[in-house]
Chains A and B, each alone.
Chain A
């Protein structure tokens, strides 16, 4: 018996290991081609002068001699730190309410939290001006301070980053082993202590990821500060000035390199935290079902309602902005601003392009990201760390740097991948690469909570790992997989900074049209297109909730006892 089992298992393991290694190598190659090589093609310019000759660190020396640089660095750190400190606790409480309490209307609350991610970043920027600008409806709340500066940036970023953090923290908090809580209860531990010794530590990885993601998002985003930052310079606007204002790719690359540093630092922290993270969901785990607690649930509902009110208020302001004839002098309402042909040569066509691009990004991207994360978490081979490191990079790269990198790399003469340049496919690849990190982290967080025993058991049963992957891992992680697909879809609908360099006449996107219309003074039409994009993503999200409700009942039944 024993001998047979031994003899029979070996080929299976060899085959599994071989396929896994090939898979890891494949994903590593894909990331290398879609992320690292393009980035190198622009970052290497930080060591060159305008004619392309190697100048060593001369650009860096020049950049650090710029008097306003210290301001930019401090300002960037300030708004990023401030936003992180505000967003992560807010998002944690919100996610906690959604996963660990019995507040009513959880689906609705979860949906509202997603609204900012469904909206192009121009939407909060426009809404904030209508609310707090010098003609703003409630500008008095700023007590005489101006919205054009750090206050505006932080408000915009908090709105924009909130769903990112909620998404990660909901994933982190949704898987919990009820046995730990039962043990605590039978030992008579009070709730406070349970929270600090069980709940918080189990969400440690999620908290670290959320902070890392929010901090870096703020560091690299230039959309909000460019529109509402006033004279408050941050590093991302410095890149914008160098690249868009002065076409100085070399100095732009220098700032981009400096922006990557905080992300690398967070990567190290991320690894340290993760080393101590243990699997939360063993094969013997019992899923936690939140029990009603009237007082806590009421407080949580009040909190969520307040957050939801702010989010919907900003969305409502944007809808109002899209209907007003001439702000603030003629407030009559109408749908004239939705006739996009009057404001943009492509009219509605760019909207349909966006829809196609987002659908392709969601489908292809989810498959690649989840498979990649699975191989990193459960696979074998030295390539795994490399894949994980590469997956962390895109978050640290400002979109416009990634976009330019794609031009330099894919349009280089002699690049065998050059046939992709100017196609919709390249927009899809670029968008997947751009949003790879958060999708990867979401998948990793979900996978990390699955006990490796599943793989061990299937290996000993001689089941090839890909069957375990398809029959166990994918169904168990279905909520996370759906989240990733939605995340990629909505970001593809709203992304601007990277794709603005690689769209063509045939593939112009709605998000690009929004920026162009806003810039040419058609702010109401820009708001209108932003509202249409938001409504589209919201509809997709709603449809998904209905469909996946059925799916989840089937695949997640095991969680119930």
Chain B
């Protein structure tokens, strides 16, 4: 046993030495550890462009879904590993800010960005990159087969024809789900918002745990209508799925992908460089390859299969409202809709 114990430690030491050696090979550059929830396909282009502009810094990504990366950052709070948090929902960043995990920094060139995409405080805690919003995916093939019309508004989804054909993310599991719920509560007012969800609940087939799943399921004909977010929707359509991407006429809830510096980083200068870069027109042009609405005004190239009029459909959004009332909203939502009881067939 003693030997195996030693073996374990020895292996551990050997492995860490190996890893260390791998790291020091590129030691001339500052290694910037960036925790992110950006989509996989965005990582390489962003990294290449940033490193080209800043040859002395190298980005090391740690990428996972918003839920995992947020949980991980909070768990590592007492001994942080991240230098920068980039491309994470601003609602998560506000959570980190309240936990004292953010190093405020006034990004160079932030003044040029749309006001809604920067933190109003001085000095600001975070800087926005692009907006993402609730969207509805409608499967045209299955819709035709089942004679279910394409919805154009949130109100449409209350019609009996959609019973058992709508999927949405469980807001208690998924930030995307919460985006929709908070959007309804803000745009319709609380009383009307809950009334709307009561009605919608009657038509929901499944609340999924993943925010992407409803649109992916609609794309694959599992269900006719999926409430998800616009990026995933346009991606699925680009892949060839027979879906229409709809931003309902009443307006949609949205959130920002934003970045912030982690308090206590040993690479503060490099971290500032990355945040400054996210505010450049060049960077925003890259973001605009995937998202229709980005922080830099005037950067608005058309994204393939991306819904039109996205900017006009974005509701007046109060991030503070979402952050402050999140726990209470989720408790109420869970009480009303979560659990085994399927809606009573009427």
Contact = CB atoms under 8 A, between A and B. Distances in A.
Contacts of B40: 343-345, 516-517, 520
B209 A345 contact: no
Contacts of B312: none
Given A68-B339, A360-B11, A501-B72, A371 B60 contact: no
Nearest to B222: A134
A543 interface: no
Interface in B291-346: 326-327, 330, 334-335, 338-342
A505 B15 CA distance: 15
Nearest to A243: B71
Contacts of B141: 329
Interface stretch (A80-88, A156-164, A421-429): A421-429
A404 B221 contact: no
A521 B222 contact: no
Given A411-B79, A505-B60, A231 B39 contact: no
Contact of B43 (A229, A345, A408, A421): A345
Interface string A381-414: 0000000000000000000000010011001110
A197 interface: no
A529 to B, nearest CB: 13
Contacts of A375: 1
Nearest to B224: A134
Q: Is the interface of A mostly helix, strand, loop or mixed?
A: helix
B2 interface: yes
Using C-beta atoms within 8 Å of the partner chain, give the interface range for chain A. 35 or more
A557 B178 CA distance: 64
B16 A521 contact: no
Interface string A218-243: 00000000110111110001001101
Contacts of B210: 226, 519
A345 B39 CA distance: 9
A26 B2 contact: yes
Contacts of A412: 78-79
B191 interface: no
Contacts of A247: 67, 70-71, 74, 95
A196 interface: no
Given A134-B221, A516-B64, A232 B71 contact: no
Contact of B65 (A66, A249, A428, A516): A516
Given A246-B330, A425-B12, A521 B232 contact: yes
Interface residues of B, number: 76
A129, A237, A243, A330 pick with most chain B CB within 10 angstroms: A243
Contacts of B339: 67-68, 71-72, 231, 233
Given A245-B170, A422-B81, A364 B239 contact: no
B15, B33, B81 pick with most chain A CB within 10 angstroms: B15
B24 interface: no
Contact of B78 (A66, A360, A413, A506): A413
B8 A407 contact: no
B236 A521 contact: yes
Nearest to B59: A505
B236 A244 contact: no
Nearest to B336: A67
A328 B1 contact: no
Interface in B54-85: 60-65, 67-68, 70-72, 74-76, 78-79, 81
Given A129-B222, A230-B206, A328-B221, A423 B19 contact: yes
B209 A226 contact: yes
A124 interface: no
Interface stretch (B106-114, B212-220, B252-260): B212-220
A206 B333 CA distance: 45
A249 to B, nearest CB: 7
A368 B61 CA distance: 34
A30 B205 CA distance: 48
Contacts of A519: 65, 210, 212-213
Contacts of B63: 345, 516
Contacts of A505: 33, 60-62
A221 B341 CA distance: 22
A231 B11 contact: no
Contacts of A424: 15, 19
Given A68-B339, A328-B221, A30 B70 contact: no
B342 A231 contact: yes
Contacts of B76: 407, 411
Contacts of B236: 521
B71 A501 contact: yes
B216 A523 contact: yes
B67 to A, nearest CB: 4
A138 interface: no
Given A237-B209, A329-B242, A364 B71 contact: no
B209 A367 contact: no
Closest 3 CB pairs of A and B: A244-B67, A425-B12, A68-B339
Given A23-B1, A241-B173, 9 more contacts: A67-B335, A229-B209, A343-B40, A367-B4, A404-B71, A411-B76, A520-B40, A521-B232, A523-B220
Interface of B: 1-2, 4-5, 7-8, 11-12, 15-16, 19, 22-23, 33, 39-41, 43-44, 60-65, 67-68, 70-72, 74-76, 78-79, 81, 95, 141, 170-175, 205-210, 212-213, 215-216, 219-223, 232, 235-236, 239-242, 326-327, 330, 334-335, 338-342
